[in-house]
Amino acid sequence: MDKPNFVYVTYIQTTAEKLWKALITPEFQRQYWFDIAFETDWRVGSNFVALSTDGTRGISGKVLEFDPPHRMSYTFIPKQAPKGSEHDTGSRVVMQLETLGAQVKLTVTHDHFAPGSTLIDSISQGWPAVLSGLKSLLETGKALEISGPCASKK
Amino acid sequence: MDTKDDTVFKALADSSRRQLLDRLYEKNGQTLRELCERMDMTRQAVTKHLRLLEAGNLVVTVWRGREKLHYLNPVPINEIADRWIAKYDRTHVQALDLLKKALEDNDNG
């Protein structure tokens, strides 16, 4: 059995249904995922491509599992494939949702990287930012709230 | 009662625990045995520190067969950075901006 490369966990004060919606709805996704959204019908075996609002193509991949609102997985192919990995089928992302009282535990596992993949560095920077943005969006309605220290009350 | 942030700050407020996080940053997904090999601490002490790191959600574990693997989870650190650092950072930038404007106005006047 392969050992996962990365495992990320965040606890979000929300319901599994709302979190699931935030994960698959482009308008939500853009707010926490560096302005990209997955274009796909989310059927198992369907391809997806991540597009930014200006139409720039980001990552792409194939839907492997889709079991709302519990578990999904997909392959993750970077925009610019590292040299020599043109035939690489991509690494794999698994998202698992688990309701714990008033919150949902979201576990993101990223594995199956090609040996010596240069993706690993950028992945380890990206996921924590995406997940804390997602948590913030669902709990406060804003992806990254940066308010002034002396915001005046109305 | 501790808030979530308190648990994270507490988990971070110890050099041995920060060292364990650094070990996982270098190599993710280690067993307790692997982590003990390179630490100058008893197995019990490492176990205790790992428990506090898990309580702060800074370390998450996955079972692979009979092995318990430990992973670095920087998401709570990111949440704190968004909540605290980004905020003050912006204030900082604005202060510099104001200073720059004031100095430029002086130059022109």
State whether B6 and B31 are in the same domain: yes
DSSP state for residue A148 in the 8-state scheme: -
B contacts of A146 (beta carbons < 8 Å):
82, 86-87, 90
State whether B82 and B69 are in the same domain: no
**Residue ranges of chain B whose pLDDT lies below 50:** 1, 109
State whether B66 and B79 are in the same domain: no
Q: Which residue in B26, B75, B33, B66 sits closest to B50, CA to CA?
A: B33
pLDDT digits (tens, 9 = 90+) for A59-93: 899 999 999 999 999 999 887 665 555 555 679 99
Q: Are A102 and A139 in contact (CB under 8 A)?
A: no
* pLDDT, tens digit only, all 154 positions of chain A: 578 889 999 999 999 999 999 999 998 999 899 888 999 999 999 999 999 888 888 889 999 999 999 999 999 988 766 555 555 567 999 999 999 999 999 999 999 887 777 777 777 778 999 999 999 899 987 665 444 444 444 3
A contacts of B81 (beta carbons < 8 Å):
132
CB contact under 8 A, A131 and B78: yes
Burial of A38: CB neighbours in 10 Å, binned 0-12, 13-18, 19+: buried
State whether B68 and B81 are in the same domain: no
CB contact under 8 A, B57 and A136: no
State whether B69 and B82 are in the same domain: no
Interface of A with B in 4-63 (CB under 8 A): 4-11
State whether B30 and B57 are in the same domain: yes
Task: Give the closest-approach CA distance of A150 to chain B in angstroms.
Answer: 10
d(CA A67, CA A63) in angstroms, rounded, equals 11
State whether B28 and B64 are in the same domain: yes
3-state secondary structure of A79: coil
State the DSSP H helix or E strand holding residue A50, giving kind and residue range, or none if neither: strand A47-52
Contacts of B76 (CB under 8 A, 6+ apart): A10, B4, B8, B56, B57, B58
State whether B25 and B43 are in the same domain: yes
CB contact under 8 A, B28 and A5: yes
State whether B49 and B6 are in the same domain: yes
State whether B84 and B68 are in the same domain: no
State whether B60 and B12 are in the same domain: yes
A contacts of B90 (beta carbons < 8 Å):
146, 148
Q: Which CATH class is domain A6-140?
A: alpha beta
Contacts of B98 (CB under 8 A, 6+ apart): none
Type of residue at B93: V
Domain holding B94, by residue range, is 74-109
State whether B68 and B78 are in the same domain: no
B contacts of A3 (beta carbons < 8 Å):
29, 64, 69
Q: Are A11 and A138 in contact (CB under 8 A)?
A: no
Residue spans per domain, chain A: 6-140
**Rg from Cα positions in chain B:** 20
Q: Give bridge partners of residue B63 from the DSSP assignment.
A: B68
Q: Which ipTM value was assigned to this complex?
A: 0.79
